[in-house]
Amino acid sequence: MKNIKEVVAWRLCVGCGACKYICPQSKITLVNIVDQGIRPVIEEVEQCNSCTDCLKVCPGLETIYSEAFSVHGFIPNLKAGFGTVIEVWEGYAANKDIRYNGSSGGLASALALYCIKEKGMHGALHIAASKDEPWRNETVLSQTFSDILARTGSRYAPASPCDSLMKIEAAPAPCVFIGKPCDVAGLRKAQMLRSALNENVGVAIGIFCAGTPSTMGTFELLKHYKIDPKTVSEIRYRGKGWPGMFRVLLRGETSPSFYEASYRESWGFLNNYRPYRCYLCPDGTSEFADISCGDPWYREVSEDELGFSLVLVRTEKGREIVQGALKAGYVVLKKSDPKILQDSQKNLLLKRGAIWGRLMAMKMFGIPTPRLQGFSLFSNWCGLPALDQIRSALGTVRRILTRKYFRPMKDY
């Protein structure tokens, strides 16, 4: 492919924003295509100098394990399904407000706060809701407890934290990066090209992800509850308890209780609006991060629970930070049986297993596919029941024909 425009045209873009950051000519802007996600647009494409930096950092086009990400002492039984994991912990943020407002125990927020307060990091680059359009996300650099607390909770809408990596590169001290698996992959690829960025990434914290619904998903969910997006002042998809409710606060009102739905109802609705590229992503647990956080779904969640998180330590840097935060009292953690991860994320394992069949179906039609190496895709596919193997391929063929994926998208 010649440039990032072709990646978007063939529906391979994941919307991380790394291409915008890396473009030496600043020719790339990001737009939110309502039914697709955040996508790059090349201004004056004819003047692009074809340096291909945008392609080099694109995790949607290529995601490959290399020696740079290898670690020793990982748990063998988890490697094929979840990448390199050194330790598995379960727990929650020691601060009650962060724990309550976070999506599942608030551990990503608590670890970021520890890095800022105790490790001298400049801030945490992550995603928050836009104040003007709360259904939209924006990249922010949080530096205080109040910043982090105000920006807790999942954001089930397009997000591109890599678009602001310059804030990390220009910071006076190393920073925390928090993002989805594809965002962390984009960060790592950008670090390879920019030494100044690489030196200023203090730690990368990844969150578990099953896919990112388009903005259309939120709009349709609001429409389902007969809510005009223009009247919305706040949207929370998760948090304020575990797993939390989908809550909407309208302008001029003080209580969102009337406009709410359970996590199961809202996510069940929203996941139908994930772009197809999300179905080709094998990394659901942020395998390129130093630390990964997600929900421990291995058990039923009782009412009025404050929240628990799984924490996966993936690097020695991650181990140092987790143990430091535990010792300093920022988190409450206990070591867990690695099997808990497998039991908690069965759907992510099934998704990973189906990807090889999906890619083969796309290749049969001559459709460009992402280059994915180091994820044990074929062995995971072989581990599926025969019926699921067939579905992974035939379901993709059906989508290709009905949605015309055999053609690139026109100008957007």
pLDDT at residue 406, as a whole number: 95
Strand order in the sheet with 245-250: 232-236, 245-250, 260-262
Q: What is the DSSP letter of 314?
A: -
pLDDT at residue 216, as a whole number: 97
Give the rounded percent of residues in the chain with a pLDDT score beyond 70. 97
What's the rounded Cα separation, in Å, for the pair 321 and 212?
Answer: 28
Phi/psi at 246 (5° precision): -80, 115
Average pLDDT over residues 171-192: 98
pLDDT band at residue 71 under the 50/70/90 scheme: confident
Q: Which residue has the higher pLDDT, 239 or 65?
A: 239
CA proximity to 32, closest of 40, 20, 23, 44:
40
* Residue 67 pLDDT greater than 60, yes or no: no
pLDDT band at residue 73 under the 50/70/90 scheme: confident
Phi/psi at 233 (5° precision): -110, -20
Average pLDDT over residues 233-248: 91
Q: Which residue has the higher pLDDT, 236 or 254?
A: 236
* Residue 258 pLDDT greater than 80, yes or no: no
Residues in the chain: 412
pLDDT at residue 28, as a whole number: 94
* Residue 47 pLDDT greater than 80, yes or no: no
Give the rounded percent of residues in the chain with a pLDDT score beyond 90. 83
**At 89, is the secondary structure helix, strand, or coil?**
strand
pLDDT at residue 24, as a whole number: 92
What's the pLDDT tens digit per position in 325-357?
999 999 999 999 999 999 999 999 999 999 999
- What's the predicted TM-score (pTM) here? 0.95
CA proximity to 354, closest of 305, 313, 405, 395:
395
Long-range contacts of 165-168 (CB under 8 A, 24+ apart): 165/18, 165/21, 165/125, 165/190, 165/194, 165/197, 166/21, 167/125, 167/139, 167/141, 168/125, 168/197, 168/200, 168/201
pLDDT at residue 70, as a whole number: 65
Beta bridge partner(s), residue 127:
139
pLDDT at residue 45, as a whole number: 67
* Residue 109 pLDDT greater than 90, yes or no: yes
Beta bridge partner(s), residue 142:
124
* First-to-final CA distance of the chain: 18
pLDDT at residue 289, as a whole number: 97
pLDDT band at residue 302 under the 50/70/90 scheme: confident
Average pLDDT over residues 190-208: 97
What's the pLDDT tens digit per position in 130-180?
999 999 999 999 999 999 999 999 999 999 999 999 999 999 999 999 999
For 159, residues 6+ apart whose C-beta sits below 8 A from its C-beta are 15, 38, 127, 137, 139, 179, 180, 183, 212
pLDDT at residue 89, as a whole number: 98
Which ranges of 164-284 does DSSP label H, i.e. alpha helix?
Answer: 165-169, 181-193, 195-200, 215-224, 263-270
Torsion sign (Cα): 57, 58, 64, 65? positive
- Across the chain, mean pLDDT equals 93
* Residue 296 pLDDT greater than 90, yes or no: yes
pLDDT at residue 256, as a whole number: 55
Q: Which helix (H) or strand (E) holds 124?
A: strand 124-129
Average pLDDT over residues 54-59: 96
* Residue 203 pLDDT greater than 60, yes or no: yes
